[in-house]
Structures are given as structure tokens and as C-alpha cells.
Amino acid sequence: MKFSLERPVKIVMLGAGGTGGYAAPHIYRLIHTLNRPARFLVADGDIVEKKNLVRQNFIHADLGRNKAAVMAVGGLRRKCAAETPARLYAEKAAGLLAFAA
């Protein structure tokens, strides 16, 4: 099967907590190396709680914020050295919030 290199890559990650919070920065770096249009959708309806800080990829400043929004707005930028033109999205149950990296 052949895929066009001009066609955008679209990745949807459901959950930005335990597994997703650690996988997201690596996916973000991978998208950066593709050097082609890409969209990375991070969806999580949960908020960061104090109990999450022990085992999930969040810091104290993230408390009370939506997990997907933390990853989209600052979490990935804070956890990745590479800058990328890829767009990040955070989805909440009420609607879709778009954030450009």
C-alpha cells in the first residue's frame, strides 16, 4: 500500500494520563521528524489531581487543568526539546479546543 507524502498525518490519542502522558512527547517528536503536515489530537475529559502527580507526567502547576489541554498548551513544549509546526488539539466533552504549537 502506498501513501502520498503530501497527505497530512493524523494521529488521535485517547487519554493523556498514565500511558498517554508519557507517550505524547515521543509521538510529538516523531511527528516533527516526518517533516510533513500533521495533526495530533489529544483527547481526555479528566483534570489533573494531586494523586496524578505521583505516577503521571504532570507537575504541580498543572493541578486543576484538563489533562489534554495541559499536553497541548504547555506540557509537550515543556517535555520536548524540539519545536515543530504540528498542530496540537485538546478535546473536552463540551467541545473542541484548538491550540497551535
Residue of 48, 2, 3, 1 lying closest to 21 (CA atoms) = 48
**What is the rounded CA–CA span in Å between residue 83 and residue 53?**
25
- Residue 67, domain member (yes or no): yes
Give domain status of residue 48, yes or no. Answer: yes
Q: How many domains does the chain have?
A: 1
CATH code: domain of residue 65: 3.40.50.720
Is 1 inside a domain boundary?
no
Q: Is the confidence at residue 8, as pLDDT, over 70? A: yes
User: Do residues 20 and 42 make contact, with C-beta atoms less than 8 angstroms apart?
Assistant: yes
Please state the rounded mean pLDDT for residues 60-71.
Answer: 90
Verdict on whether the full-model pTM lies above 0.75: no
H or E stretch at 34: helix 20-34
Give the position of cell 517528536. Answer: 29
Q: How far, in Å, CA of 98 to CA of 60, rounded?
A: 24
Output the pLDDT for position 78: 54
Answer yes or no: is 89 within a domain: yes
Residue 97 pLDDT exceeds 50: no
Supply φ then ψ for residue 12, to 5 degrees. Answer: -115, 125
Residue 42, domain member (yes or no): yes
